[in-house]
């Protein structure tokens, strides 16, 4: 697709345990172990790159073996990594538990991710100037995310915020700096409670009709487009001021069929692929969302996060 995506976000070393059933608190179970790269930022950068975008990734790394692996893997995927080295800090890491049905539980130690500075981000001027889409999440220092989104918008990029994880701090300024939001149901419910004073359980969202979902999206982000990801149900799109080529103001976009084995990173696959599609000029917006649904569905067919991201030639159609 060839557009330019600038990802600002986290790199984690993932430690993944696969087990038949997730352990209850206090219980011990046997499982299988593997380690590899992850972090929402890196996952999304790999997804954007494998979905065809020229991708720059701004991240903070420790001074350790995981950082060396991050550099190797970025190079292998053709990602232009701009890393802020943080001596004395560990590279971020995550413990991920996956059961036989593909459900997951995740614990993250941010390490260097929490030290990513706004100054370091703003120093990457060439990357900010040339980005078609700037994509950020909430696993790094909040002031770096806000600075990135604001600088990206000033320089003409479409700003995409994946507001994950759900318990990360957010502000009105942060939401206003995003042209596009891609929450999952849990993140959407948390943002609605925090910023729109609406209490809705994440599980209730699936029962709302399209008009009510659109109203909730508009209450949360009056200007921005919201793409609410709904797991195996695909996504719901709600536009604000710009419809990005769509005729409809809101609609459901069904998931693509998948033989799902592991949904870890499905949301990252979706956001990275959507960014790549939009940066590459795919229109109307519904086309880009359908592409992201196909890309994310395919990512669930392999275990793992970053390394499970499919390449363009692995997609159907």
Instruction: State which residue, 246 or 268, has the beta carbon closest to ligand ATP.
Output: 268
| 37 interacts with ligand ATP by CB under 6 A | no
Report the binding-site residues. 12-14, 39-43, 139, 184, 229-234, 262, 264, 267-268, 293, 299, 302, 304
The yes or no reply on residue 13 touching ligand ATP (CB under 6 A) is no
270 binds ligand ATP per the rule CB under 6 A: yes
Q: Which residues contact 105 (CB under 8 A, 6 or more apart)?
A: 22, 96, 97
Q: Which of residues 173-192 bind ligand ATP (CB under 6 A)?
A: 184
Least CB distance from residue 48 to ligand ATP, whole Å?
15
Distance CA 306, CA 266 (A): 10
Q: Which two tokens stand for residue 93?
A: 């890491």
Does residue 36 interact with ligand ATP by CB under 6 A? no
Name the residue nearer to ligand ATP (CB basis): 124 or 170: 170
Distance CA 94, CA 237 (A): 30
Report in angstroms how near the CB of residue 137 gets to ligand ATP at its nearest.
Answer: 10
One residue of 296, 303, 308, 309 binding ligand ATP per CB under 6 A: 296
Long-range contacts, stretch 126-131, CB < 8 angstroms, 24+ apart: 127/6, 127/56, 127/58, 127/80, 127/82, 128/6, 128/152, 128/155, 128/157, 129/155, 130/4, 131/4, 131/5, 131/6, 131/56, 131/155, 131/157, 131/279
User: What sign does the CA torsion over 11, 14, 20, 23 have?
Assistant: negative
Nearer to ligand ATP among residue 77 and residue 268 (C-beta): 268
| Nearest CA among 148, 85, 90 for reference residue 119 | 148
95 binds ligand ATP (CB under 6 A): no
CB nearer ligand ATP, residue 89 or residue 98: 98
Residues annotated within the binding site for K(+) are 262, 264, 299, 302, 304
Binding residues for ATP: 184, 229-234, 267-268, 293
Residue from 77, 80, 246, 268 carrying the catalytic annotation: 268
Angle at 227 between CA 223 and CA 229, to 5 degrees: 150
| Cα–Cα distances in angstroms (integers) from residue 224 to residues 72, 158, 159, 264, 271, in the given order | 36, 11, 10, 27, 15
Least distance to ligand ATP from the beta carbon of 13, Å?
17
Q: What's the gap between Cα 44 and its chain centre?
A: 5
Spell out, one character per residue from 214 to 233, where the chain touches ligand ATP: x when CB under 6 A holds, - when not: ---------------xxxx-
Cα torsion at 37, 32, 95, 39 (round to 10°)?
Answer: 20
Residue with tokens 């990357």: 127
Cβ closer to ligand ATP: 159 or 162?
Answer: 162
Specify whether 246 is catalytic.
no
Binds ligand ATP by CB under 6 A, chosen from 264, 279, 282, 308: 264
Cβ proximity to ligand ATP, 270 vs 285, nearer residue: 270
CA distance linking residue 145 with residue 169, whole number of Å: 11
Judged by the rule CB under 6 A, the positions of this chain that interact with ligand ATP are 184, 229-232, 234-235, 255-256, 258, 260, 263-268, 270, 293, 296-297, 300
Residues that are catalytic = 268
């Amino acid at each position: 697709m060839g557009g330019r995506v600038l990802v600002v976000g986290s790199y984690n070393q993932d430690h993944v345990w696969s087990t038949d059933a997730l352990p209850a608190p206090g219980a011990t179970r046997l499982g299988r172990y593997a380690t590899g790269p992850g972090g929402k930022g890196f996952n999304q950068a790999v997804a954007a790159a494998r979905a065809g975008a020229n991708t720059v990734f701004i991240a903070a790394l420790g001074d350790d073996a995981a950082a060396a692996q991050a550099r190797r893997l970025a190079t292998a995927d053709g990602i232009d990594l701009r890393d802020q080295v943080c001596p004395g800090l560990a590279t971020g890491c995550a413990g991920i538990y996956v059961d036989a049905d593909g459900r997951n539980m995740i614990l993250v130690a941010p390490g260097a991710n929490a030290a990513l500075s706004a100054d370091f981000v703003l120093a990457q001027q060439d990357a900010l100037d040339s980005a078609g889409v700037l994509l950020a999440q909430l696993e790094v220092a909040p002031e770096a995310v806000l600075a990135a989104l604001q600088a990206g918008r000033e320089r003409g990029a479409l700003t995409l915020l994946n507001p994950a994880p759900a318990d990360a701090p957010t502000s009105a300024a942060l939401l206003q700096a995003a042209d596009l939001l891609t929450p999952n149901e849990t993140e959407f419910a948390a943002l609605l409670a925090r910023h729109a004073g609406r209490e809705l359980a994440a599980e209730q969202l699936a029962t709302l009709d399209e008009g009510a979902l659109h109203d909730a999206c508009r209450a949360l982000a009056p200007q921005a487009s919201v793409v609410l990801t709904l797991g195996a149900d695909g996504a719901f799109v709600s536009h604000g001021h710009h419809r990005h080529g769509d005729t409809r103001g809101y609609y459901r976009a069904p998931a693509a069929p998948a033989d799902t084995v592991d949904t870890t990173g499905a949301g990252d696959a979706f956001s990275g692929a959507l960014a790549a599609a939009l940066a590459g000029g795919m229109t109307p917006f519904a086309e880009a969302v359908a592409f992201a649904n196909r890309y994310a569905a395919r990512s669930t067919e392999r275990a793992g996060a970053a390394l499970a991201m499919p390449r363009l030639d692995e997609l159907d159609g």
